[in-house]
Amino acid sequence: MTQGVNKSTALLAVVISGLAISPSLLWAQSAPHADVVPPAEAVAIKQFNQAIAKYMAIRNRLQSEVQGPVKNSSASQVTNASDALAGAIERARQGAQVGNIFTPPVAAVIKRRITDAVRSGHLEAVLADIDDEKQVSPAPKVHLRLPVSAQMATMPPSLLKVLPVLPKALEYRILGKNLVIRDVDASLILDYIPLAVPR
């Protein structure tokens, strides 16, 4: 009998402790969160992710067909592989235009996020000093070949945090006041948002 009472007491203690913590758990699940994405913005980011997935499917197919660099490749072999991949991508994306990846809804969301990040983080000075400011940047265009150089600025980490995450094969870069998305191995601009970066 005593054993039964002890079990009942232990069970009651567990229930009570569960009731004691459940309100906080419910609040944590239902309370508004600073990172909650508005529905329209979530739809735009979903469109962007779908466009990236579509591109990566094409790229992966092409990369299996194009001879790439191997371990200990020479600089010329790496360049030749990059040229071959870029050519294959351009042929597969014939007719690609500005806005194919950064559609108008996506571009609007990203421009707003960048503007908010610059304003809240006081990044004007950072953007003014990044590495392409002292040179004349080329005008961006889809499928422009741009190797990593001082002509194209890297993204400050505080700006990267507000942008959708990209696969490792792709990266964001700043070209003048434009945000570009670049295929790293092909050194190829895939799309860009004009005047996205206030600097």
Quick one: pLDDT at residue 195?
A: 92
Q: What are phi and psi of 174, to 5 degrees?
A: -105, 130
Q: Is residue 103 part of a domain?
A: yes
Q: How far is CA 97 from CA 50, 144, 199, in A?
A: 17, 12, 25
Quick one: pLDDT at residue 85?
A: 95
Q: How far apart are the first and last CA of the chain?
A: 79
Cα–Cα distance, 76 to 104 (Å, whole number): 39
pLDDT of 190 above 60: yes
Tell me which residue range forms the domain holding 63: 39-193
Q: Is residue 46 part of a domain?
A: yes
Q: Is residue 2 part of a domain?
A: no
Question: Mean of the pLDDT values across residues 42-66?
Answer: 95
Q: How far is CA 28 from CA 21, 34, 36, 88, in A?
A: 11, 12, 13, 49
Q: Is residue 9 part of a domain?
A: no
SS3 30: helix
Cα–Cα distance, 45 to 48 (Å, whole number): 5
CB contact at 8 A, 40 and 70: no
Q: Is residue 43 part of a domain?
A: yes
Q: Is residue 27 part of a domain?
A: no
Q: What is the pTM of this model?
A: 0.75
Average pLDDT value over all residues in the chain:
79
Cα–Cα distance, 83 to 32 (Å, whole number): 49
CB contact at 8 A, 89 and 65: no
Q: Is residue 28 part of a domain?
A: no
Q: How many domains does the chain have?
A: 1
| Tens of pLDDT, residues 81-138 | 999 999 999 999 999 999 999 999 999 999 999 988 888 876 766 666 665 445 566 7
Q: What are phi and psi of 175, to 5 degrees?
A: -125, 100
Q: How far is CA 191 from CA 33, 57, 175, in A?
A: 32, 17, 12
SS3 24: helix
Q: Is residue 83 part of a domain?
A: yes
